[in-house]
Amino acid sequence: MSWRRTAAGLGAALPLSACAGAQSAFDPAGVEAARVLTLFWVMLGGAVAIWLVVIGFSIFVTKVRPQAYSEKAGLRLIIWGGCVFPTVVLAGLLFWGLGMLPELRRPADGPTIAVSGERFWWRVAYDVEGGPGVVRNLPPGGIPSANEIWLPVGQRSEILLGSPDVIHSFWVPSLAGKMDAIPGRVNRLVLEPTETGIYNGACAEFCGTAHAMMGFRVVVVSKGDYAAYVRAQAAPAAVIEGPGPELFLKNGCAACHSVRGTPADGQVGPDLTHVGSRSTIAGGLLPTTAENIAAFIGSPNHLKPGVEMPSFGMLPEAEVEAIAQWLGSLE
């Protein structure tokens, strides 16, 4: 019956379904990711060649000519098939791969953006001055944002990666390979997107309970749109008066969060000055809507187990809604 065909179809489709879209190393949209993909196919080719020769020899000596070999013939087989061939193939792959490095190490000609891996979200700062220490000093310095990184297309942007406590790994499969965010040092990742679009990123190093919910978005736009975006992010919040901001301050949200233009200047959690302009909240977890913000304030640990933010479920619903409405409006 058709379940066999369905199962066979699913079996064939599942591996391929991971090969396209906004978070796939098989669907590159940047110079570095394209190189990584080429490297993968060539390495795979080399591995398949070695595998075929070794398996071919095994079949040859066990099935085709299973008789005893002279010591000399056996030694020849081992030296050529087991030593020389793999060494030549692996050395060829190694030097070919090393030849890619100068191209990938070309210096940046675009913006410098600091990104710090936090538990469990990404602190972002635009227009930072390059140089070590900048990520550890973050904040202050740069124009703060979180969980969404805008990049100009066709330019080599430099991402300075750090972390205050545990190791994370910054990975946007469509744009570049992984790079660790390590406490006490600054790693540099230069990447050059070649296509505009929205790409998903993830933390690729186990960092704690909410590791799997530590995502982010990368939005690649034209150079002009990038400049306009950073200018808009630098501005203070659009609305700084009303019940929303009053309740935000009264209930202690400002101890952890900043909303520039208001007295809220907490540095523990994400900067919320323009949280409404970001497409997701809680590290790529939920679309940014007032309903989702209210749900997250009411019970963050329920939506994102392991999150550091405490629950505010004891607040009256109307207060949570007023805060969420205000935050959602901050574009």
Q: Tell whether residue 207 is a contact of ligand CUA (CB under 6 A).
A: yes
Q: Tell whether residue 214 is a contact of ligand CUA (CB under 6 A).
A: yes
What token pair was written down for 12?
A: 């064939």
Of 32, 158, 205, 271, which one interacts with ligand CUA (CB under 6 A)?
A: 205
Q: Tell whether residue 330 is a contact of ligand CUA (CB under 6 A).
A: no
> Of the ranges 73-81, 132-140, 207-215, 226-234, which one interacts with ligand CUA (CB under 6 A)?
207-215
* Residues 6+ positions from 49 with CB-CB distance below 8 Å: 89
Q: Tell whether residue 25 is a contact of ligand CUA (CB under 6 A).
A: no
**Under 8 Å between Cβ of 172 and 199:** yes
Q: Tell whether residue 260 is a contact of ligand CUA (CB under 6 A).
A: no
**Under 8 Å between Cβ of 177 and 38:** no
**Closer to ligand CUA by Cβ: residue 124 or 264:** 124
Q: Tell whether residue 172 is a contact of ligand CUA (CB under 6 A).
A: no
Nearest distance from C-beta of residue 274 to ligand CUA, angstroms: 23
Q: Tell whether residue 168 is a contact of ligand CUA (CB under 6 A).
A: yes
Q: Tell whether residue 120 is a contact of ligand CUA (CB under 6 A).
A: yes
* Residue 253 phi, psi dihedral angles, 5° rounding: -60, -30
Nearest distance from C-beta of residue 205 to ligand CUA, angstroms: 5
Q: Where are the alpha helices (DSSP H) in 60-205?
A: 71-77, 85-98, 101-104
Question: Which residues share a beta bridge with 305?
Answer: none
Helices (H) and strands (E) in the chain, counts: 10, 12
Binding mask 80-119 for ligand CUA (x = CB under 6 A): -------------------------------------x--
**Closer to ligand CUA by Cβ: residue 138 or 203:** 203
Nearest distance from C-beta of residue 39 to ligand CUA, angstroms: 24
Strand order in the sheet with 187-191: 143-146, 121-126, 112-118, 157-162, 187-191
**Under 8 Å between Cβ of 179 and 15:** no
* Terminal-residue alpha carbon distance, the chain: 54
**Under 8 Å between Cβ of 151 and 157:** yes
Q: Tell whether residue 40 is a contact of ligand CUA (CB under 6 A).
A: no
**Closer to ligand CUA by Cβ: residue 28 or 117:** 117
> Of the ranges 22-30, 35-43, 206-214, 259-267, which one interacts with ligand CUA (CB under 6 A)?
206-214
Q: Tell whether residue 257 is a contact of ligand CUA (CB under 6 A).
A: no
**Under 8 Å between Cβ of 224 and 320:** no
Question: Which residues share a beta bridge with 160?
Answer: 114, 188
Per CB under 6 A, residues contacting ligand CUA are 117, 120, 168, 203, 205-207, 211, 214
